[in-house]
Amino acid sequence: MCTAITYSSGNHYFGRNLDLEYSYQETVTVMPRNKPLTMRSLPALQSHYALIGMAFVVDEVPLYYDAMNEKGLGMAGLNFPGNADYRPVEEGQKNVASFELIPWILGQCGTVAEARRLLSDVNVTDLAFSEALPPSPLHWMIADAKESIVFEQTQQGARVYDNPVGVMTNNPTFDYHMTHLADYMQVSSAAAENRFAPSVDMHAYSRGMGGIGLPGDLSSASRFIKVAFTKMNSLSESTEAESVTQFFKILGSVEQQRGCCRLGEDKDGEPICEITIYSACCNLERGIYYYTTYNNSRITGIDMHKEDLDGTALVCYPLRDTQDIYMEEQTK
Q: How many helices (H) and strands (E) does the chain have?
A: 5, 18
Does residue 2 have an active-site annotation? yes
CA within 13 Å, CB half, 262: 8
Helices (H), 58-173: 101-108, 112-118
**SS3 of 246, please?**
helix
Contacts of 199 (CB under 8 A, 6+ apart): none
3-state DSSP: the chain helix, strand, coil percent, rounded to 5?
20, 35, 45
Helix (H) / strand (E) element for 244: namely helix 240-252
Letter for the amino acid at 80? Answer: F
Kindly list the catalytic residues: 2
